[in-house]
Amino acid sequence: MKFFILLIINLLLSLNALAVDTKADQAIVIDYNTGEVLFEKNADKKMPPASMTKIMTVYVAFDRLKQTNLSVNDQCTISPRAYKMGGSRTFLEIDEKVSIDVLLKGIIVQSGNDASVALAECLAGTEEDFAKLMNVYAENMGMLNTNFINSSGWPDENHFSTVRDLGVLSNTIIRDFPEMYEYFAMKEFLYNEINQPNRNRLLTHVVGSDGLKTGYTKKSGWGISGSAKRDKRRITVVINGTNSSRSRLNESSYLIDWAFNQTSEVTLFKKGEVIKNVDVWLGNKPTINLVIKEDVISILSFDQIKLIEASINYNKPIDAPIKNGDKLGNIILNIPGKDKIDVPLVAQNDIKEVNPLMKSFAAIKYLIFGTSLDEKQ
């Protein structure tokens, strides 16, 4: 027999979360610490990632620097193919020897297509082989709807990704390379007597912003993967398909501020918290506490917090023997706008089964009086 007890968790907060939306064609907002998606729009729609591709180019380079004897001071020779790349450039010269450090800055700050190709050729021999490496990394990260053809994001119908996949990539590079990630916070870079500002204007317009990368092609529109940290929280936003550089800045900064200002990290339950004391059948103790197995933390808007519904499910009575930590039930949390959360309830302690004589007595008593051994008359 199962009991379903409806709980309304009403945390008295006076603020109401504003409904969130965006003019971007695709968007996703992710809480970095928990991995929770706070908002999404067409998050799995395949799209040209444009220069946001370069986040993966940089990831591969960072990993090679970490896993091999390569140094940021190692030199790469600029090929004619790299030199001839159009679009945004670092203005490298043919046969020039340039450090990996310079190429990384050229890619991240200046979005240099020439620097992207030069780094790809330096690390893998050809850009085609480097793109194969990019796809291996993407698969390992679980980027299920991504395929890279080149290192720069140069338009190609077979070169695509999604904002969800780019969000995974962005958070992975932040997590895996915290020291090297500082490259993304550079606000400008001077090379070949040409000083270029970082195209990521979130760095100068949004509190706590420290990366990552913009992108633009005629087909994709204006996009950005951006991240900001305030106190202990980090928010990562990926948008694409806005109609101007200004719109890209406005939409991405709005979503970051919304996430920080209108959502909160809430501990719904703490590990070991007692939820209910329930009857035990044929045990050496009459009852047992059902407790929370692990902390349950979620990122919620203030409206969501006030509308949480929970149902507790368990069998009554619970048969002995019981071991500490045995799963005896669960709580199902229903939160508007989120998938159901299944919270295991476990035994707080051990309970032994009574001896055979007492078991027989309890069974007879139950048949005659309809009560268990330990229920009071």
| β-bridge partners, 265 | 299
d(CA 83, CA 81): 5
Pairing of strands 75-77, 341-347: unpaired
Q: Which of 41, 79, 105, 111 is catalytic?
A: 111
Between the alpha carbon of residue 271 and those of residues 95, 127, 294, 296, the distances in Å are: 61, 50, 4, 8
Closest alpha carbon to 153 in 47, 16, 48, 279: 48
Q: Is 313 exposed, middle or buried, given 0-12, 13-18 or 19+ CB atoms closer than 10 A?
A: middle
372 given a catalytic annotation? no
Q: Which of 51, 227, 253, 298 is catalytic?
A: 51
Q: What are phi and psi of 13, to 5 degrees?
A: -115, 135
51 given a catalytic annotation? yes
Q: What are phi and psi of 204, to 5 degrees?
A: -110, -5
Token pair listed for 335: 């939160």
Q: Is 342 exposed, middle or buried, given 0-12, 13-18 or 19+ CB atoms closer than 10 A?
A: exposed
Where do we find the tokens 């051990």?
Answer: 350
3-state secondary structure of 38: strand
220, 141 contact by CB (below 8 A): no
- CA 89 remoteness from chain centre: 31
360 given a catalytic annotation? no
Token pair listed for 39: 């908002």
Write out the catalytic residue numbers. Answer: 51, 54, 111
